[in-house]
Amino acid sequence: MALQLEKRDRSLIAFIDGELDHHCAASIRETLDSAYQQAQIKNLILDFSKLTFMDSSGIGVIIGRYKMVQAGKGKMLITGISANVLRLLTLSGIHKIIPIVNNVETALKTV
């Protein structure tokens, strides 16, 4: 698993490359949280276009980050999801609270 971070204005874009399971969750969480705590960052965009696997541990990571972004009065969006990830987001109801958009550019226009 590799995490690539990009900052644009007040948004943090995180590209998650590889697998998001319980084993990887802690390091993803720590990296995202410390980057988000940096000054000026408000919004979080999670890009899953390079994600090869996710299970319910990923749902936990997403909901946890959503709470953090809410506390920071920002917006969170998800982009680049596969059919399998969409099923997980639908099952858990995440699709109702976090907008899912096609690509990062659309996400940046929405925040």
Partner 1 sequence: MSVHNEMKVEFLSKSANEAFARVTVAAFISQLDPNIEELSDVKTAVSEAVTNAIIHGYQNSNGIVRIACTLTDKTAEIIIHDDGQGIENIGQARQPLFTSSKNDERSGMGFTVMETFMDELTVMSEPGAGTTIRMVKHFGTLNA
Ligand X SMILES: Nc1ncnc2c1ncn2[C@@H]1O[C@H](COP(=O)(O)OP(=O)(O)OP(=O)(O)O)[C@@H](O)[C@H]1O
Residues that bind ligand X (CB under 6 A): 56-57, 59-60
Q: Which of residues 50-69 bind partner 1 (CB under 8 A)?
A: 53-57, 59-61, 63-64
Residue 44 or 59 with smaller CB distance to ligand X: 59
Distance of CA 35 to the CA centre of its chain: 13
The SS3 call for residue 67 is helix
Strand partners, 19: 53
Rounded distance, CA 23 to CA 108, Å? 30
From the list partner 1, ligand X, none, partner contacted by residue 53 (C-beta under 5 to 8 A by kind): partner 1
Using alpha carbons, select from 91, 44, 32 the residue that is nearest to residue 70: 44
Residue 84 or 106 with smaller CB distance to ligand X: 84
Residue 8 or 22 with smaller CB distance to ligand X: 22
Under the binding rule (CB under 8 A), the answer on residue 2 touching partner 1 is no
